Amino acid sequence: IKQTIKFEQTIYLISLLAINTHQRSRNTFSIRLDFGTFGFYSRIKAKMYKNKLDTVRYYVKFFLIAINVPLIVSAIGIATIIKLLWPKRKFKDITDKVVLITGGGNGLGREIATKLAERKCKLAIVDIDQKAANETVAFLKNKFDNLVAEAYIADVSDYDQCQKVASKVEQELGFVDILISNAGLMPCIDFADITMDRIEKTVGVNLMSNLYFIKLVLDKMIERNSGHIVCTSSIGGQVPLPGGSVYSLTKKMNLPVPPFDVDFVADEAVKGILREDTVVTISKEFNIVIYLHKILPPFIKNFVLTAGSNLKSVKND
């Protein structure tokens, strides 16, 4: 017992490092260190051992713990110092860069535009909904002083309209430095029931519009050796949902443009623009369980999918 008590000073040093240790054995001693509200305290229980080998074994264990603790703390300290001294990653300066955002009138497109407005970009908000596009531009200009942002109306599934918009943006704002092809449709209809018109429209907006705008801006980007292209994808492209076969197909498509570094599918969530709304619910008739808490921007709920008990209303919309 006296030999065990001699370890008290070592135990106290370990407690200063805020390490909680608990060793117990039926035939041996147990040591417990706790971090109390008003300070550190140690409690030592010691029992005589029936077997000297057990005594040696547990002394060795405690000795190893006493050695490893400072090593671990030292490693943590070194890692912390390296992290503090390591130069932080700097975002590329995109001030005054021309950014064309399709589907920028609502939802994710508006949220992306807001984040880019914070970076002082020149924004071209493209949307088929003129009112929504104008509201986005007005909202951004009211929030950010001296912001350059214009609304452009186009059906992005129509190449001629895309071409006119791209040309107009170039004339009014300059060459497109960043293309964010974000426009999308999400029909929730069984494939047996969906019409060819709806299929063509979904493919046109979700897939062909990406190709149209990439084709319209890529050559100038190559000439200037500068530019970035992002096409918004969806979890639906990774995990198809019932009634969403056409949508999932369009979101799964990937078109790399070697040897140029083009991010055609952005299939990871962007933490900077996420919100806490729970905006998607799936009917039990789908026989699946999906939890979508705290992941989507607040405006998306009116434009993506709200499937509740009345599936017919969803199919007819």
Query: Known catalytic residues?
Result: 247
Q: 173 to each of 74, 177, 242, how far by Cα in Å?
A: 55, 11, 42
CA gap 154, 163 in Å, rounded: 10
First to last CA, the chain: 80
Q: Is 14 left (phi over 0), alpha (psi -120 to 50) or beta?
A: alpha
CA gap 145, 23 in Å, rounded: 63
CB-based contacts of 259-265 (< 8 A; 24+ apart in sequence): 260/218, 260/221, 260/222, 262/214, 262/229, 263/228, 263/229, 263/230, 263/231, 264/210, 264/229, 264/231, 265/231, 265/233, 265/237
Contact at 8 Å (CB) between 28 and 60? no
Angle (CA) 216 117 108, round 5°: 70
CA gap 150, 134 in Å, rounded: 8
At 142 the three-state DSSP class reads helix
Contact at 8 Å (CB) between 252 and 273? no
Contact at 8 Å (CB) between 229 and 217? yes
